[in-house]
Chain A
Amino acid sequence: MTATQEPTQGEIGRDRRRKEDQRLITGRTRWTDNITLPGMLHLAMVRSPFPHARITGIDTSAAKAGTNVVAVYTGADLGESQGACINAWPVVPDQVTPAHLPMPSDRVAFAGETVAVVVARSAAEARDAAELVEVDYEELPAALDLKESAEAHTNGGALAHPDLGTNVSAVWRFDSAEAGTGGDVEQAIAEARQDGIVIEREYRQQRLIPAFMEPRSVVVDPTGEQITMWSATQVPHILRFALAATTGVPESKIRVIAPDVGGGFGGKLQQTPEEMIAFAVARKLGKPVKFTETRSESLLTAHHGRDQWQRLTLAATKDGHVTGLKVDLLADLGAYVAIVGGGVPVLGAFMFNAIYKFPAYQFQTTNVLTNKTWTDAYRGAGRPEATFAIERLMDELANELGKDPLEVREMNWIKHEEFPFTTVAGLEYDSGNYEAATARAKEMFGYDALRAEQAERRSRGDKVQLGIGVSTFTEMCGLAPSRVLGSLNYGAGGWEHAEVRMLPTGKVEVVTGASAHGQGHETAFSQIVADRLGVPFEDVEVLHGDTQISHKGLDTYGSRSLVVGGEALVRAVDKVIEKAKPVAAHLLEASADDLEFSGGRFSVRGTDQGMAITEIATAVFAAHNLPDGVEASIDSEATYDPVNFNYPHGTHLCAVEVDTETGQVRMRKYACCDDIGNVINPLIVSGQVHGGLVQGIAQALWEEAVYDENGTLVTGSFVDYLLPTAADTISFDLDHTTSPATTNSLGTKGVGEAGTIASTPAVVNAVVDALRPYGVHDVAMPCTPERVWRAINTGGSGGETTEAAAPHFDESEGAAQ
């Protein structure tokens, strides 16, 4: 027996601290706003205070005379050079899509829209001069209320874009009977009305603001052969495409760099008017320019999320087997159809049936234009809305049946032995085990003990009631198989690209088309490459976010980076090994068939002969002794197009205490068991889950973008748009079960959105559960103390949010409140 070396611990599965944290957390790095170029000019935007108005005149003369002001441009001045903001997903062929100029010259369609841009030598001077631009507006009736706007074409109501004649941008529908994936939902509902249970509800997905940590910023340098744009974006590749496609500048003349980007949550997957304006101004002046938004501008104009009304009908048999689900949405697009835009509700279309075996299903969304900030993808994009609706309904069904909500779910969910399972929405779920995840979550949560405490508090009539909420979610992520996107009329594919460069010194550079903005790709991707290529973690450098380095890619959103980008990377690494093999055989004077590759070495079977892949990289660099006909490179690239979506799932359990005197809701316990397949880095996964949970909990309890009847965003700062901090949350109990994905080599599933998708209904279900003894069946989000109190005392779901904010700083106008 020969002594074998202890295998070194694999990188995959290790809770590595993130390489990027030092520079990201200290801020000593290249955020876009940290970039300063010689002769750089600064921009300030002049924005409309009105949601809908005709621009009747703009006087820029005073601003032009301002100190160190270089230029002031209106939409008319920039004309076609501004390009246009594109919608990549016309969800129906006849979608009504208003033209979206970055800076309109005739009419503004939401409060905050840019009407003029000031260029000055300093940001302060630009801001000063912006105050001097005088704009004359003629106010137009504004389409503000979503329900009213959806009907405006029938009753002469306000139109967001009068020339379009309607606010309805699209009606998109899926019906399982028509698609052949299931039965007729109307029939299922009719039968249930006769002899079963019908649950009909209307839920509101309030408008949210992504509120990434780093406000958006853009720098454009037109002085090189390529025009370079640095932007705080999630989508450098898509942005380059859009710049080229709408300005006529050849794509090869544009370089887009997403340097370190401080969060996005979907909020930075836009092609923004500000980027287009900066690009146009830089080209016009031939000088580098910078624009960095203030937090107030960010809250007002960066795209918002959610904002739907959901009309839902669930049919079930008397014993609680679901028989049909009908979903009728109104989705607020805001003033323009954004890049994903009307596709966001459509992304939810395949998820309302969730983990349950509905025999019949119908989904319809009516996408509506209003004179509010445009909406687009926000962490989860369509799937949180779907998960919320179905998980709320399953709790309502359980209540109707007088059964435990977990029992009713189990009666209806796909059993683990039934995978792969084709759903009523036509998706094939590859793997999962809802039983296992639920069992583990219940154990961590102490489900039975908390139910006992709840019963005890109820019988005692305690002023503080306990509620338990359940969410057994799944989602579709890993966007996306290109063919599926094509069939849905999406304007791009869903593949991802990767390259592996073997450097002469034995180090490795990895290029990915995914564009990290806080996720930790540099760490996780290094771990994958280190394991697969058998090189030290430290020797792997991950490059991304610069179209000159990463020329090909589809960027980061929809929990796609690992499951699509990671797979591309695996394939590129495998190609490196394949390419190295003949070289190794040549150098080792062995037959390629006798070589095996492991731990970073090729060895000749049955001998002690071998060579590290890094040595081969050096030999290939020298190229002194290569086999005939073999090129002097083992660098490789791969483009991977996923064959299917990816379906993480999990069971989330939440306990809240509700102070029935004040309506205050306090988190008591939160336990979740997520099945995200194999885990590359548990620490990063925990970070994603923790952050995701808080974002979802925040929708349930705190966050809401509120407009007043004048179309003014009243939650225009963090004083009124309530973001939670660590002080508002509790410690979460996390665990995982593992059903590896069968559609990628590493068996991974996306985790970027899971926590957000799962947690919102768990919390609201818990709040409602606490209040069942008071006859409460719904509390609208966010479940503010006032709403909870009103629901207890006057029934209903707690009423509307009053559309006014208290001033805390506004001394000059304070007295007018």
Chain B
Amino acid sequence: MIPAAFEYVAPTSVEEALAALAEHGDDAKVIAGGQSLLPVLRMRLNAPEWVIDLGRIDSLRGVRDGGDHLAIGAMTTHHDVGEDPLIHEHALLISKAITHLADAQVRHRGTFGGALAHADPAGDLGAPALALGSTFVVQGPGGTREIPADDFFVDLFETSISEDEILTEVRVPKHGGWGAAYEKFVRIAHQWPIVAVAAAVRMEGDTIAEARIGLTNMGSTPLRARAAEQALAGQPATEEGVAAGAAAAAEGTNPPSDLNGDADYRRHLATVLTRRAVLAAAGRG
């Protein structure tokens, strides 16, 4: 498990990193926490000539209050995001998802931005980021641009970040007072989800006023369960009421079939997990 030799640079600013990226183009790969890239290199599935380490760019780290949203620096580790009090208050769904993400070692190295840029449909952060309507800020030679969550994930391991751009920040609209739950279905503890459901719910009394539901590993990208969201809005937060809405959770999905489960089983799981997640988010779990 020895990667092919590569050149290594560790710039201290985004501008320097972009310059290095511009210079080496196709031959370069940026590295964040390395928790996905290093296995790729070690298994020799990819052999970039240059590796540009974002680890020394301090401006990319930390969670900031941006008024109506939280701005999560791309290089903030999973652990730091998960423990952040602002996240707990305004984006509880994200910290819920992070408690289930990998293991402690990976959470201390892997980064929020790295995981989202990696765009594994089985990754635990895509669904919550999508469900909360996040905006992705990328910076390139031509300046910065903001990509809405719905446009960010393109396909398996593919986002709309261009080759010459770097993801710098993810802006998550504040969802203070929303209940949240992440139902991750695995066979063993440290596994990627077979299916997971991220649900955030705004309650008005005993009624679900609004639900935002993201699905993990139900297609080639994270997905919103829009039909279920619509069906749940205005429903009482009872077992029956939620089950009726959750029944639509798999609508429009195209889940994979693999050794952990075939597509039909995953569709079924999505409905069960959506019901459980929504009930838990509504405080009825």
Contacts and interface: CB of A to CB of B under 8 A. Distances in A.
B263 to A, nearest CB: 10
A701 B189 CA distance: 13
Given A662-B272, A786-B261, A722 B45 contact: no
A815 B158 contact: yes
A811 B1 contact: no
B156 interface: yes
B190 A727 contact: yes
A449 to B, nearest CB: 28
Interface stretch (A192-200, A509-517, A797-805): A797-805
Given A128-B4, A789-B265, A815-B158, A808 B122 contact: yes
Contact of B44 (A131, A706, A790): A131
A811 B268 CA distance: 28
Given A131-B44, A662-B185, A805 B258 contact: yes
Nearest to A811: B157
Interface residues of B, number: 39
A806 B256 CA distance: 8
A714 B192 contact: no
Interface in A783-815: 784-786, 789-790, 801-815
B46 A811 contact: yes
A812 B44 CA distance: 10
Contact of A725 (B36, B43, B190): B190
B39 A809 contact: yes
A127 B2 contact: yes
A728 B217 CA distance: 22
Given A804-B258, A817-B256, A784 B187 contact: yes
Interface in B232-263: 256-262
Interface in B187-213: 187-192, 194
A702 B191 CA distance: 12
Nearest to B44: A131
Nearest to A715: B259
B269 interface: yes
Nearest to B189: A727
Contact of B188 (A296, A724, A803): A724
A815 B157 contact: yes
B68 interface: no
Contacts of B118: 811
A719 interface: yes
A720 interface: yes
A662 B266 CA distance: 10
Interface in B1-24: 1-2, 4-5
Contacts of B80: none
B193 to A, nearest CB: 10
A812 B156 CA distance: 11
A808 B120 contact: yes
Question: Could you say which of A123, A295, A719, A807 has the most chain B C-beta atoms within 10 Å of its C-beta?
Answer: A807
Contacts of A702: 187-188
A294 interface: yes
A785 B187 contact: yes
A661 to B, nearest CB: 5
Given A664-B185, A725-B190, A806-B192, A784 B260 contact: yes
Nearest to A215: B1
Nearest to B3: A124
B258 to A, nearest CB: 5
A701 B191 CA distance: 14
B258 A806 contact: yes
Interface in B140-182: 155-158
B260 to A, nearest CB: 7
B265 A786 contact: yes
A812 B45 contact: yes
Contacts of A127: 2
SS of A interface (majority): loop
Question: Could you say which of A720, A806, A813 has the most chain B C-beta atoms within 10 Å of its C-beta?
Answer: A806
A407 to B, nearest CB: 34
B184 to A, nearest CB: 12
| Size band of the interface chain A makes with B | 35 or more
A797 to B, nearest CB: 15
Given A661-B272, A790-B265, A812-B45, A804 B188 contact: no
A786 B260 contact: yes
Interface string B42-71: 011110000000000000000000000000
A295 B45 CA distance: 16
Contacts of A131: 4, 44
Contacts of B39: 809
Contacts of A727: 188-190
Contacts of A814: 156-157
A714 B257 CA distance: 13
A724 B156 CA distance: 28
Contacts of A805: 258-259
A804 B261 CA distance: 10
B271 to A, nearest CB: 9
A697 to B, nearest CB: 11
Given A725-B189, A809-B39, A809-B45, A815 B257 contact: no
B27 to A, nearest CB: 14
Contact of A813 (B36, B45, B191): B45
Given A784-B260, A786-B261, A809 B190 contact: no
Interface in A289-343: 294-296
B110 to A, nearest CB: 12
Interface in A229-248: none
Given A812-B46, A815-B158, A706 B259 contact: yes
A737 B206 CA distance: 57
A352 to B, nearest CB: 30
Contacts of A724: 188
Nearest to A716: B43
A719 B192 contact: yes
B256 A809 contact: no
A811 B121 CA distance: 12
A370 to B, nearest CB: 19
Contacts of B273: 662
Question: Could you say which of B5, B118, B257, B259 has the most chain A C-beta atoms within 10 Å of its C-beta?
Answer: B259
Nearest to A664: B185
Contacts of A722: 187-188, 191
A725 B188 contact: yes
B34 to A, nearest CB: 11
Contacts of B260: 784, 786, 806
A693 to B, nearest CB: 16
Given A803-B259, A804-B258, A815-B157, A294 B45 contact: no
Interface in A719-772: 719-720, 722-725, 727-728
A802 B36 contact: no
Contacts of A810: 40, 45, 157
A664 B194 CA distance: 12
B266 to A, nearest CB: 9
Given A722-B187, A804-B258, A809 B36 contact: yes
Contacts of B259: 704, 706, 714-715, 720, 801-805
B46 A802 contact: no
A687 B185 CA distance: 30
Question: Could you say which of B4, B188, B257 has the most chain A C-beta atoms within 10 Å of its C-beta?
Answer: B188
Nearest to B257: A802
A803 to B, nearest CB: 7
A128 B41 CA distance: 13
Contacts of A664: 185
B5 A128 contact: yes
| 6 cross-chain pairs, A with B, having the tightest CB-CB distances, nearest first | A727-B189, A814-B157, A809-B39, A786-B261, A124-B2, A294-B1
Given A123-B2, A804-B257, 12 more contacts: A124-B2, A128-B5, A720-B259, A724-B188, A725-B189, A784-B187, A802-B262, A806-B260, A808-B120, A809-B39, A809-B43, A815-B158
18 contacts: A124-B5, A664-B185, A706-B259, A715-B259, A784-B260, A784-B261, A786-B260, A802-B259, A803-B259, A805-B258, A807-B156, A808-B36, A809-B40, A813-B45, A814-B157, A815-B155, A815-B157, A817-B256
